[in-house]
Amino acid sequence: MSISPTLLEQSIQINIQQALQEDIGDGDITALLTPEDEQATATIISREDMILAGQPWVDALIQAFDASVQVTWLKQDGDKVAANEAFLKLAGSARSLLTVERPALNFIQTLSAVSTKTADYVKQLDGLNTKLLDTRKTLPGLRIAQKYAVAVGGGQNHRLGLFDAFLIKENHIMAAGGIAEAIAKAHQIAPGKPVEVEVETWDELNQALEAKADIVMLDNFSQQQMIDAVQHVAGRCKLEASGNITIDNLRQVATTGVDYISMGVLTKDVKAIDLSMRFNG
């Protein structure tokens, strides 16, 4: 899946308005300690190596709060930033710089953490055809932002939500009366939208194949079972591996020949990048 420009812009605007409201409320009282007409320049650095992500959010945030602030990016999204390297400079009202500092850094530290982690995981797949996917296990309110960051880091987006693709799991199968019934109904409800089925056994895999699923997710299959499944399917549908996969066994799983590996860790288990903004003398 890919994020449309319209959805991306809508999400950015929602995110920045929420960020400004929760941080500023009815006014930044600490910034009032600074003279109203004082101008300043500031430099933002990373305290650790990272893959930069979050530019559109920062640009929109500053534009919404004070469009007169000059924003100079020394690096672009997707670029490597070394520890203690500057990647952004700001110039304008000292009050404005002080007020936008935290929400701006929050976006960069979170999204760069996602892109950096994703890049580390993608590196494990060098030379292989398997693609790394994210999941819907994202921080509330930051779904599109985090999926954007995954793409910046070299990963690919799984479905964006419950609206753009089917992912039929055990409870859906039980409610629909079986795998074949669930797939048939999915094609009726939204013709043309991808239909993926999660299976736990060889019999369920065959049922999904016969019902012409587009993608089959192999849930907690062993290494040998995945190898056998790839040979058995022989390109009749795409295969996705999920469950009990870590960076340590990621490449091993990919060598089975599965088309995709999906990992929630890319978005739900990230440590924010350490950033710092300093006024220039």
How would you label 165-200 residue by residue, b for 16+ Cβ within 10 Å and e otherwise?
bbbbeeebbeebeebbebbeebeeeeeeebbbbbbe
**Catalytic residue check, 169:** yes
**Catalytic residue check, 102:** yes
Please name the residue ranges forming H helices in 211-274: 223-233, 250-254, 265-268
Q: Measure the CA–CA gap between 200 and 212, rounded to whole angstroms.
A: 17
* CA dist 245 → 82, 102, 253, 276 (Å): 29, 34, 8, 34
Which residue in 47, 80, 102, 236 is the catalytic one?
A: 102
Instruction: List all residues 6 or more positions away from 116 whose beta carbon is below 8 Å from its beta carbon.
Output: 49, 50, 51, 153, 273
Which residue in 79, 219, 228, 274 is the catalytic one?
A: 219
**Catalytic residue check, 47:** no
Which residue in 89, 123, 136, 137 is the catalytic one?
A: 137
**Catalytic residue check, 137:** yes
Rg (CA), the chain: 22
Which residue in 89, 123, 136, 169 is the catalytic one?
A: 169
Pairing assessment for the beta strands 85-93 and 131-133 based on DSSP bridges: unpaired
For CA atoms 186, 189, 191, 192, the dihedral sign is negative
Which residue in 101, 198, 240, 259 is the catalytic one?
A: 198
Indicate which residues carry an active-site annotation.
Answer: 102, 137, 169, 198, 219
